[in-house]
Amino acid sequence: MTVTRATIAAARGLTLGVVAFFGSTALLLGVVLAAALLPLGVGAYLLPPLLTAVRRHADRRRRTAERWYGTSLPAAYRPVPAGTPATGVTRTLRLLRDPAVRRDLLWLPVDATAGFFLAVLPAALLAKAAEGLALALGFWRVAADGGDYWYWFLPVSGQADAIGAGVLGLLLMHLAFRFSDRLLRAHFTLTRTVLTPTGRAALEHRVEELARTRHDAVDTSAAELRRIERDLHDGAQARLVAMGMSLGTVEALLDKDPEQARTLLAKARAESVEALAELRDLVRGIHPPVLAERGLGDAARALALRTPVPVEADVDLPGRAEPAVESAVYFALSEMLTNVVKHVGAGRVWLELGHRDGMLRLTVTDDGRGGADPAAGTGLAGVERRLGAFDGVLAVVSPTGGPTVVTLEIPCALSSPKTSSC
């Protein structure tokens, strides 16, 4: 390991250690105090916000593990039913019955002790190594102050002892350079061991998730059918009826007033063109022809070209995904770009679409004002539900002031470019 990587690992570990010790300890003490107040009824109002804070604390550690080392720490929290009070006995019991919440509570003391030790050890090794080298360079004269200065197990009272401390410091520095990264990975491995759901809990969560996504898929399909019916009734159907009436009038006027008949024929022809355009738009909204004919990559480029905001597209797809997956990603991208145009005031957008390690990944970044929230009704919640049917995930990073980065991933194999399915 280079000096730079060892220093980065030590700095990261020191930061994690502070968060692990103070953050986890404070939350643990708060939860214990709130639990002690449950018999008085006060704890039922203190525990829900505290447990929510614990979950956010654990989620931040999950994101840190993913960002720094690509370590995946899956979560399997049960959703709280809509209409459940924000505080009180009902919400407290629902939260405490969630195995994922109980794992978070078990993780707090582990994080504040063993997690803290593993996190700060790289920084401690570097600090002690620097201390040994400083003693060898003469610092022992100040540190000893006429007596013995203990460097680990070695008493330092003269230059010979100081040189021994320097040799020990070099050994510690070698260990720090070699093992700092591994020690920090061990911290996240410990975190993953405690936070990762058991096989049964993961299976139960998967069943619940499938039931929820199936329900959402049925609702989405029903809403889509209603939209198509409404568009046909109010658009193309109305124009075709008007065109039929015009043609009936033309038939009656052919002998009596040919000039008026020609005028009505021109009007009927214009109405037929408009009806055809509306039908094409409707078909494009159901399944765009470019998506069916040329695949997701070209369809994404076409979306980028039609977006009013300049979009820089980087597409690298060596094959085709399943049609259902392509459709889900296409409409998710369409929703993302629509949000950029309508809500964030961006001047430029960057689109990346690719496939790696069995995962189809789409990232949309904009330089807008930020503040995007899937729960705020921007359409991202619908995208997340649509992706859930394919085991896909959606991640949104949108601090106030921007930039906004929206990433979706769907596990999928790609077929040969010459075929049309996985």
How many residues in total does the chain contain?
Answer: 422
DSSP3 helix / strand / coil % (the chain, rounded to 5): 70, 10, 20
* Cis omega (within 30 of 0) for bond into 374: no
Higher pLDDT, 13 or 152: 13
Query: Would the pLDDT of 419 be above 60?
Result: no
pLDDT tens digits for range 311-369: 999 998 888 888 888 888 888 888 888 888 887 788 899 999 999 888 899 999 998 88
Q: Stretch 170-193: mean pLDDT, rounded?
A: 87
- Residue 198: predicted pLDDT: 61
What pLDDT is recorded for position 258? 78
Distances (CA, A) of 276 to 36, 62, 229: 70, 51, 16
Q: Could you tell me the residue ranges of all domains in the chain?
A: 3-195, 207-286, 291-411
For the stretch 278-296, pLDDT in tens is: 666 655 555 677 787 888 8
Instruction: Collapse the DSSP code of 355 into the 3-class scheme (helix H, G, I; strand E, B; otherwise coil) and give the result.
Output: strand
Which region, left, alpha or beta, applies to residue 148 given φ > 0 means left and ψ of -120 to 50 means alpha? beta
pLDDT of residue 108: 93
H or E stretch covering 388: helix 380-388
pLDDT tens, position by position, 237-247: 666 777 777 77
How far is the C-alpha of 160 from the C-alpha of 337, rounded, in Å?
69
C-alpha gyration radius of the chain: 32
Average pLDDT for 184-189: 90
Cα 349 to Cα 343: distance, rounded to the nearest angstrom: 13
The confidence score (pLDDT) of residue 362 equals 92
> If you average pLDDT over residues 380-398, what whole number do you get?
77
pLDDT by residue (tens digit) across 88-135? 888 888 888 888 888 999 999 999 999 999 999 998 888 888 888 887
CATH superfamily placement of domain 291-411? Histidine kinase-like ATPase, C-terminal domain (3.30.565.10)
Q: For residue 26, is pLDDT > 90?
A: yes
Q: Indicate if 291-411 has the same CATH topology as 207-286.
A: no
**Topology classification of domain 207-286:** 1.20.5
pLDDT tier at 402 (50, 70, 90 boundaries)?
A: confident
DSSP codes joined into one string, 278-325: HHHHHHHHHS-HHHHHH-HHHHHHHHHHHSSS-EEEEEE-SS---HHH
Average pLDDT, rounded, for the chain: 79
